[in-house]
């Protein structure tokens, strides 16, 4: 079963579940009309289905490789990337002043969802460039914007982010890369970075590295980090490529998945760089890029879930094995999809993918509304939803791809079926751009600095939807309302803890419990919009009756605190 982008699903969620129309009503995004959205989704779907998806297996079987200092990409990736750039899709949400379309990030999320489902390895390249574009739009000096943004927006040049160092890992403040002023407004950048996705390629053009480094006498920790633009080739004044910079790819990481995406160890040896933003303010500039990148990673997880689900359904509709209760009856397929457990797995895949996608697109709407209106309430909502969208989206991708292998049975463990690739490719999404544990700790700490007000506003909306559903879908409405009350109690407990470690001990289960309830909210909205006992209502009933109850265990875990964790001694854990 070849991949087919679920355009009608995006359209339904945007129109009926996350209220995308609010965005189009703003002056900033007035061009995001329904006709424009439909045209873009349709065109990108053709690209994803016909150009990118057929290359996905090539990326797995013929990984990127390093030859004589040059990264050679997987078979056909150059043509796939060319198709992305020719459509102008890298710059969909970029500023029109520099060649972008200026359309909402929410729409860009749907596009990246399709790219990830079709070919995550290749789709990662424009995702990184989009993040760099955003960082430069907000923090770069005007000359740098004029030099770099048009070429990044068109896809002629590509962008990376260089944070991690071997000794530092997620502790970015421990980085040791140096930036020495050269006296001409440039800096000599020296250091080594690891895990640099798409750090080099053979597509042509320039590879533009945003690098975190420390100036002489800078304060210790994150307060002493600055951000620099360090291109592979130093541009001439007219934007043409000049001399090669003093940087190189040391090696490529040998990874569990996304083999088509070259993950580089980069070495900078006195490379010429230019300051982006203010001295010692690099983390603020980088987080402009990273915050929306975290949503983008959640979208990658959702895209993989979609691809794995379609792959599993295709197999289940073809595989015949054993007798089922539906043999010879109307509605029976005569295949393993008629077995109760296979149907349970497929329904779980579909219900969770919908929930995660709705959460991610709702986060995109909040970001767009914040950008369009400047209202702090939208900013707060976007900030709160981002770790949920990232962590839940990637956990769903992992779980759905695992179920995809299980639906295939023994054949799922055989590489030729392609089911295992989804599971291997998606696994990294729970790790990069801040592990899911870091996302959860951020959610219960910084994102609750308001005492839980933003969280409770969302819970109020969930309960309002549940109340509205009582007349047409009373059982579902009641279940969602009760779940929201349990979530509110857990939220109040979290907000009351003065010791952050008490929150951190249950941060991940709290995030997952919140996501479970939020997913039920969006399923209920979908069922209410459908009106009849149709497929979305039946799927909502499955989610609310079977998956929503998981929130009870998650939230019970969340409010247990840290005492029993630390009662376990090192000897207990290593015995």
- Residues with active-site annotation: 433
C-alpha–C-alpha distance, residues 427 and 12, integer Å: 28
Handedness of CA 189, 191, 195, 198 (dihedral sign): positive
Bridge partners, residue 208, by sequence: 159, 231
The rounded radius of gyration (Å) of the Cα atoms in the chain is 24
- In the block, residue with structure tokens 């790790």: 431
How many helices (H) and strands (E) are present in the chain, helices listed first?
Answer: 20, 11
DSSP 449-462: TTTTHHHHHHHHHH
Bridge partners, residue 181, by sequence: 187
HEC secondary structure over 221-269:
HHHHCEEEEEECEEECCCCCEEEECCEEEEEECCCCCCCCCCEEEEEEE
Q: Distances in Å between the alpha carbon of 30 and those of 94, 278, 372?
A: 15, 33, 10
With vertex at residue 538, the alpha carbon angle to CA 536 and CA 543, rounded to the nearest 5 degrees, is: 90
- In the block, residue with structure tokens 């043999």: 327
Which tokens hold the place of 415?
């590489």
C-alpha–C-alpha distance, residues 47 and 51, integer Å: 5
HEC secondary structure over 171-197:
CHHHCCCEEEECCCCCEEEEEEEEEEE
Coil, strand or helix: which one is 546? helix
C-alpha–C-alpha distance, residues 268 and 274, integer Å: 14
User: Burial of 261 by CB count in 10 Å (0-12 exposed, 13-18 middle, 19+ buried)?
Assistant: buried
Q: What residues contact 306, with CB distance under 8 A and at least 6 apart?
A: 6, 113, 117, 353
DSSP 405-423: HHHHGGGGGSGGGSHHHHH
Handedness of CA 109, 314, 430, 166 (dihedral sign): negative
**Is residue 249 within 8 Å of 71, Cβ to Cβ?**
yes
C-alpha–C-alpha distance, residues 4 and 57, integer Å: 16
β-bridge pairing 158-162 and 207-213: parallel
Bridge partners, residue 72, by sequence: 65
C-alpha–C-alpha distance, residues 227 and 243, integer Å: 22
**Is residue 427 within 8 Å of 445, Cβ to Cβ?**
no
Greatest alpha-carbon pair distance for the chain in Å reads: 82
Q: Distances in Å between the alpha carbon of 327 and those of 36, 61, 254, 314?
A: 46, 39, 47, 19
């Amino acid at each position: 079963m070849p991949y087919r982008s679920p355009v009608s699903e995006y359209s339904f969620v945007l129109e009926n579940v996350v209220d995308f129309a609010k965005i189009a009503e703003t002056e900033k995004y007035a061009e995001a009309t329904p006709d424009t959205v439909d045209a873009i989704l349709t065109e990108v779907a053709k690209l994803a289905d016909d150009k990118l998806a057929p290359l996905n297996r090539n990326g797995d079987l013929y990984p990127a490789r390093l030859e004589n200092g040059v990264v050679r990409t997987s078979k056909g990736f150059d043509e796939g990337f060319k198709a992305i750039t020719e459509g102008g899709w890298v710059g969909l949400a970029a500023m029109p002043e520099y060649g972008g379309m200026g359309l909402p990030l929410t729409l860009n999320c749907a596009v990246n969802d399709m790219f990830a489902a079709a070919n995550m390895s290749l789709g990662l390249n424009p995702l990184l460039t989009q993040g760099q574009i955003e960082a430069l739009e907000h923090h770069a000096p005007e000359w740098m914007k004029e030099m770099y943004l048009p070429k990044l927006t068109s896809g002629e040049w590509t962008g990376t982010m260089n944070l991690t160092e071997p000794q530092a890992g997620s502790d970015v403040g421990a980085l040791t890369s140096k930036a020495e002023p050269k006296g001409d407004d440039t800096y000599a950048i020296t250091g080594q970075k690891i895990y640099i996705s798409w750090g080099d390629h053979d597509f042509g053009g320039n590879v533009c590295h945003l690098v975190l480094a420390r100036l002489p006498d800078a304060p210790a920790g994150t307060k002493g980090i600055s951000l620099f633009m360090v291109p592979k080739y130093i541009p001439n004044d007219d934007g043409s490529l000049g001399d090669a910079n003093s940087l190189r790819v040391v090696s490529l990481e040998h990874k569990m998945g996304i083999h088509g995406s070259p993950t580089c160890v980069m070495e900078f040896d006195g490379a010429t760089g230019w300051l982006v933003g203010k001295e010692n303010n690099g983390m603020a500039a980088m987080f402009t890029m990273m915050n929306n990148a975290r949503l983008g990673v959640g979208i990658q997880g959702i895209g993989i879930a979609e691809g794995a689900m379609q792959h599993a359904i295709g197999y289940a509709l073809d595989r015949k094995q054993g007798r089922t209760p539906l043999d010879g009856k109307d509605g029976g397929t005569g295949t393993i999809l008629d077995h109760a457990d296979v149907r349970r797995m497929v329904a779980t895949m579909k219900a969770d993918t919908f929930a995660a996608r709705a959460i991610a697109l709702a986060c995109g709407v909040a970001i767009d509304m914040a950008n369009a209106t400047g209202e702090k309430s939208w900013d707060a909502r976007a900030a709160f939803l981002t770790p949920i969208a990232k962590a839940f989206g990637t956990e769903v991708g992992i779980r759905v791809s695992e179920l995809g292998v299980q639906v295939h049975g023994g054949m799922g463990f055989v590489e030729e079926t392609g089911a295992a690739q989804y599971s291997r490719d998606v696994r990294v999404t729970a790790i990069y751009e801040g592990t899911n544990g870091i996302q959860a700790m951020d959610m219960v700490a910084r994102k609750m600095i308001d005492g839980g007000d933003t969280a409770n506003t969302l819970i109020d909306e969930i309960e309002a939807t549940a109340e509205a559903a009582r007349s047409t879908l009373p059982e579902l409405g009641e279940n969602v309302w009760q779940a929201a009350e349990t979530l509110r109690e857990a939220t109040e407990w979290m907000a009351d803890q003065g010791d952050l470690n008490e929150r951190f001990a249950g941060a991940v289960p709290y995030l997952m419990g919140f996501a479970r309830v939020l997913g039920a909210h969006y399923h209920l909205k979908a069922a209410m919009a459908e009106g009849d006992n149709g497929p979305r209502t039946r799927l909502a009933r499955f989610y609310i009756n079977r998956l929503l109850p998981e929130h009870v265990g998650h939230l019970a875990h969340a409010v247990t605190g840290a005492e029993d964790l630390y009662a376990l001694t090192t000897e207990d854990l290593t015995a």
